[in-house]
Amino acid sequence: MTIVYRSNAGTTRRYAELLAKELSCDAVELSKAKDSVTGDTVYLGWIMGNEIQGLAEAKTAFDLCAVAGVGMMDSEADQAKTREKAALGEIPFFFLPGDFHMENVTGMLKLAMGVVRKALRAEIKKSGDPKIAETLRRIEEGVDKFDENALAPLADYVRRLE
Ligand SMILES: Cc1cc2nc3c(=O)[nH]c(=O)nc-3n(C[C@H](O)[C@H](O)[C@H](O)COP(=O)(O)O)c2cc1C
């Protein structure tokens, strides 16, 4: 078993390394893994716009036993959207709560976040939707949701496979 991951600001890497330690296997970053990893793989990717980053590449490159997405939007509805976009078929999906801080967002992603914030503000003005207000609040105030214990269901699942 190998844990392959893609992280932007570090939360997904932390989860991947903890999981690897717990399962006594390696955690390898996606771009390095493509040439070196074979056999059963668990993929962890950070979530952007309800999409698990790197998943398309991971699906073609590895034999996936399970996939986890790391995100700051932890509602059932958001998790369902991510699961649906991931189109994993029989492969089980796990959600892991992540951290988010605007100061860690740089380059193109920072620009994109600026556009998203503007759009969310306009939408809140129009509809007053509390869910959208909560999304904007998380973006502006930041989120610290990393939780080591959240790995337990995924770790248990993988252990049962071995
Ligand atoms: C541009 C951008 C878009 C994001 N979109 C989502 C999203 O749609 N859903 C979500 O749950 N989290 C979203 N997040 C939050 C990240 O997924 C979260 O911060 C995660 O912990 C990032 O993992 P990392 O620390 O490994 O990069 C977004 C973050 C950024 C920077």
- 3-class DSSP state of 136: helix
pLDDT digits (tens, 9 = 90+) for 21-80: 999 999 999 999 988 989 999 999 999 999 999 999 999 999 999 999 999 999 999 999
**Do strands 2-6 and 26-29 pair parallel, antiparallel, or not at all (unpaired)?**
parallel
φ and ψ at 136, to 5 degrees? -65, -40
Does 30 contact ligand 1 (Cβ within 6 A)? no
Helix H, strand E, coil C: the string for 44-95 is: EEEEECCEECCHHHHHHHCEEEEEEEEECCCCHHHHHHHHHHHCCCCCCEEE
What distances in angstroms separate CA 132 from CA 25, 40, 91, 126, one per listed residue?
A: 40, 38, 30, 11
C-alpha 25/C-alpha 49 separation (Å) is 30
Does 113 contact ligand 1 (Cβ within 6 A)? yes
- Name the residue with tokens 């399970």: 66
C-alpha 41/C-alpha 140 separation (Å) is 35
pLDDT digits (tens, 9 = 90+) for 142-154: 999 999 999 999 9
pTM of the model: 0.96
- pLDDT value for 35: 87
Q: Ligand 1: which residue has its CA nearest to atom 2?
A: 48
Average pLDDT, the chain: 96
Closest residue by Cα to residue 43 from 107, 92, 103, 112: 92
Mean pLDDT of 114-142: 96
Ligand 1 center to 64 CA (angstroms): 22
Closest residue by Cα to residue 68 from 1, 26, 6, 160: 6
CATH code for the structural domain at 2-100+144-161: 3.40.50.360
Q: Ligand 1: which residue has its CA nearest to atom 1?
A: 109
Among residues of the chain, what percentage have pLDDT more than 90? Answer: 98
Residue boundaries of the structural domains of the chain: 2-100+144-161, 102-141
- pLDDT value for 162: 80
Strand partners, 28: 4
